[in-house]
């Protein structure tokens, strides 16, 4: 009888859920890689808006405007801080950068002439078109634009409360209105689009017709964990990670929720700024497969 009890206890323990850990790149007032234990493993001495850890291990960082970069900028740096690429913005700010196609870098720039452009590695503009958005508030024009596998570009436009898909000629080929200021727009494999809306404190998934088919917000929890839903990422397991740039209850800076809206991981810190955008790098030490959906 005792042996049976021990066996059953061991079987239950073997099926117990392993606590989730992630290492990730965090962008914002602090630019750093945080390890699975929540400790800073690498940092860069410049505030950032967006960022990618590239397959080479280098980092592509979208820099906030500063004395050195009055219009913002983009750099690719090695882990020891060596610059392999640099481009300085020419207007109010640069909000995103992504390596695309033939080793080009896609950038969006806010200002009196908001635009999306692709640069070659010498910094030469090889593609450019204007972003059709409001001009009264440069900071609130666009955020995390992404080039899609079909060659089009998905651009969240904050004050316009719309996510638009543009082709390479700058023509709008699809759009969806959003309940609040959209920050991220992630085109999923099934054709749906995952959108985080900043001060709506909400993450929604819409289908091709623009109908909301999934939504998570603070009504899903027993406390307001989401405050200023900025960066987002859909993980290979179907879970969604949301950055809380304004820092949610209990100083929550990021959460991971299942499709059933259960919180399975959170990043909480007693001090420091919120996370503007991020890239989850691994789960329980195992690197994520494929191109990050962020």
DSSP 208-277: TTS-EEEEEEGGGSSS---SSEEEEEE-TTS-EEEEEEEEEGGGEEEEEE-TT--EEEEEE-SSS--EEE
20-283: which CATH number, 3.40.50.1370, 2.120.10.30, 3.40.50.300, 3.40.605.10? 2.120.10.30
What is the pLDDT at residue 102?
82
CB < 8 Å & 24+ apart, contacts of 160-168: 160/133, 160/134, 163/193, 163/195, 164/132, 166/116, 166/129, 166/131, 168/127, 168/129
pTM recorded for the entire structure? 0.93
Percent of the chain at pLDDT > 70 equals 94
Token representation of residue 90: 């020419």
What is the pLDDT at residue 7?
35
pLDDT above 80 (res 180): yes
Q: For the segment 185-213, what is each residue's pLDDT rounded down to a tens digit?
A: 999 999 999 999 999 999 999 999 999 99
Separation between Cα atoms, residue 43 and residue 30, nearest integer Å: 8
Q: For the segment 229-279, what is each residue's pLDDT rounded down to a tens digit?
A: 999 999 999 999 999 999 999 999 999 999 999 999 999 999 999 999 999
Tell me which of 6 and 44 has the higher pLDDT. Answer: 44
């Amino acid at each position: 009888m005792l042996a049976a009890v021990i066996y059953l206890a061991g079987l239950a323990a073997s099926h117990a859920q392993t606590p989730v850990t992630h290492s990730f790149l965090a962008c914002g007032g602090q630019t750093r890689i945080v390890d699975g234990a929540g400790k800073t493993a690498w940092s860069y001495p410049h505030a950032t808006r967006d960022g990618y850890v590239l397959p080479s291990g280098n980092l592509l960082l979208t820099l906030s405007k500063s004395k050195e970069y009055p219009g913002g900028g983009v750099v690719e740096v090695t882990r020891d801080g060596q610059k392999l690429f640099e481009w300085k913005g020419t207007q109010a700010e640069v909000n995103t950068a992504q390596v695309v196609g033939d080793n080009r870098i896609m950038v969006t720039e806010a200002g009196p002439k908001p635009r999306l452009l692709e640069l070659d590695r010498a910094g030469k503009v090889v593609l450019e078109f204007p972003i059709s958005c409001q001009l009264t508030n440069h900071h609130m024009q666009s955020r995390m634009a992404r080039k899609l596998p079909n060659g089009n570009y998905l651009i969240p436009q904050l004050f316009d409360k719309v996510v638009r898909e543009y082709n390479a000629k700058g023509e709008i080929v699809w759009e969806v209105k959003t309940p609040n200021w959209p920050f991220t727009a992630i085109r999923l494999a099934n054709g749906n689009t995952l959108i985080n809306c900043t001060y709506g404190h909400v993450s929604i998934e819409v289908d091709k017709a623009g109908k909301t088919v999934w939504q998570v917000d603070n009504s899903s929890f027993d406390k307001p964990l989401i405050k200023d839903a900025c960066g987002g990422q859909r993980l290979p397991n179907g879970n969604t990670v949301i950055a809380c740039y304004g820092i949610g209850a209990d100083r929550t800076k990021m959460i991971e929720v299942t499709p059933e809206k259960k919180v399975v991981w959170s990043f909480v810190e007693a001090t420091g700024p919120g996370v503007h955008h991020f890239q989850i790098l691994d789960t329980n030490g195992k690197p994520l497969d494929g191109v990050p959906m962020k």
